């Protein structure tokens, strides 16, 4: 086996039967049992270039490499917590049902001081100062004084969500699942929704731009309680049992009551928050029923899909035209054509 250290993006370019060595953070680790009642593990390893899902079978080795020593351990009874820690993997690319499968044959618990998990954390590729400027400019574009002042109160003064909001992830997997992802996603959705609203205003659709921008900036605030981030994005207990739409609507209604926000404004923005996933099967208890809610929902869905498309296309290298079938979006994604 080659000892060359690869990053996750490079691993995903390897052919079947290729061996690899990679380091990252175990962002997810779960114990499973196969149909013969034999245990195995599934791990998602993350670094700045992406995420790698792998299988750890019963014949794999778990090795503790803290303090320069190296000795085998039993993952169930060694007293070590692998999830959220820096891990080294020696593995091999396989295939299962015509899909690539990554087998993690040796799992190394690394020295956490020498290889701190923070060194593998992925951050938003968009400049943080640019995103903050755009966020503040979007609030400035809200001309309705009550809504404008409410946004300032929520994000910068009385409730001061900003310090947390600007670094939070927008997910644990799939899209914007990195430091600064929530800010990047919210700004992108708000700009997209604003521009869609301008388009339909020109076609005589009555759209309240103040509600669109406010709703877009607030639509995912529940993720501040739904996720946490220490070494990698994680679901909180509240996130697992209530999800961000419920948490976000509760947060918003609490803020609206505290600021005595007009009832009509409160209802319009709350409707955007609870309907922005667009369909009940995607988690929204109600469907978008106003132009503003339809626009924010459409912008949110598009931003998710384009971010997901980019991450999948970047990961598959330059030789392939299509990704494997991706069950989450129910399709294979296409690179498209390069027309100069």
Q: How far apart (Å, rounded) are the C-alpha atoms in residues 186 and 190?
A: 6
Q: How far apart are CA 62 and CA 73, in angstroms?
A: 6
Take residue 70 and report the two structure tokens written for it: 């190296």
**If you search the block for the tokens 């400019």, which residue do you land on?**
137
* Sign of the torsion formed by the C-alpha atoms of 245, 237, 168 and 304: negative
| 244 — pLDDT class (breaks 50, 70, 90) | very high
Position 43 pLDDT exceeds 50 = yes
Q: Name the residue with higher pLDDT: 231 or 183.
A: 183
- Which residue is associated with the tokens 């020696």? 90
Task: Could you please state the CATH topology (level 3) that the domain comprising 128-313 is classified under.
Answer: Hypothetical protein af1432 (1.10.3210)
Q: With contact defined as beta carbons under 8 Å apart, do 287 and 184 qualify?
A: no
pLDDT of 278: 86
| Half-sphere exposure in the Cβ direction for 250 (13 Å, CA) | 12
Same fold across 5-120 and 128-313: no
The residues near 129 (Cβ < 8 Å, ≥ 6 apart) are none
Q: What is the reported pLDDT for 175?
A: 85
Helix (H, G, I), strand (E, B) or coil at 113: coil
- Degrees to nearest 5, angle at CA 211 with 210 and 217: 95
Instruction: Tell me the pLDDT band of 1, cut-offs 50, 70 and 90.
Output: very low
| Residue 275, Ramachandran bin (φ over 0: left; ψ between -120 and 50: alpha; else beta) | alpha
Across the range 73-91, mean pLDDT stands at 91
pLDDT at 107 over 70: yes
pLDDT, average across residues 46-70: 90
Domain edges within the chain: 5-120, 128-313
User: What CATH architecture does domain 5-120 belong to?
Assistant: Beta Barrel (2.40)
Q: State how far the Cα of 94 lies from the Cα of 118, in Å rounded to an integer.
A: 30
């Amino acid at each position: 086996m080659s000892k060359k250290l690869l990053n996750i993006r490079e691993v995903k370019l390897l052919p079947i039967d290729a061996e690899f060595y990679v380091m990252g953070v175990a962002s997810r680790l779960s114990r499973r049992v196969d149909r013969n009642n034999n245990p195995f593990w599934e791990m998602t390893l993350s670094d700045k270039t992406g995420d790698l899902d792998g299988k750890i079978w019963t014949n794999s080795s778990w090795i503790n490499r803290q303090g320069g020593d190296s000795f085998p351990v039993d993952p169930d009874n060694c007293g070590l917590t692998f999830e959220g820690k820096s891990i080294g993997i020696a593995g091999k690319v396989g295939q299962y049902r015509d899909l690539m499968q990554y087998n993690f044959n040796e799992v190394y618990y690394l020295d956490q001081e020498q290889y701190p998990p923070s060194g593998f954390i992925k951050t938003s590729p968009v400049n943080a100062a640019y995103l903050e400027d755009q966020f503040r400019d979007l609030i400035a574009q809200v001309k309705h004084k009550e809504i404008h002042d409410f946004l300032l109160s929520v994000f910068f003064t009385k409730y001061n969500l900003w310090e947390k909001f600007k670094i939070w992830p927008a997910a644990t997997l799939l899209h914007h699942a990195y430091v600064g992802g929530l800010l990047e996603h919210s700004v992108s959705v708000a700009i997209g929704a604003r521009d869609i609203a301008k388009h339909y205003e020109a076609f005589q659709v009555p759209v309240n731009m103040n509600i669109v921008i406010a709703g877009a900036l607030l639509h995912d605030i529940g993720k501040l309680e739904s996720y946490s981030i220490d070494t990698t994005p994680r679901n909180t207990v509240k996130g697992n049992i209530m999800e961000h739409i419920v948490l976000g609507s509760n947060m918003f209604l609490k803020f609206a009551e505290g600021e005595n926000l007009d009832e009509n404004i409160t209802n319009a923005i709350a409707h955007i928050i609870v309907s922005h996933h667009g369909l009940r099967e995607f988690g929204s208890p109600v469907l978008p029923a106003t132009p503003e809610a339809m626009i924010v929902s459409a912008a949110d869905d598009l931003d998710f899909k384009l971010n997901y498309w980019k991450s999948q296309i970047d990961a598959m290298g330059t030789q392939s035209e299509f990704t494997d079938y991706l069950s989450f979006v129910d399709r294979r994604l296409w690179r498209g054509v390069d027309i100069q």
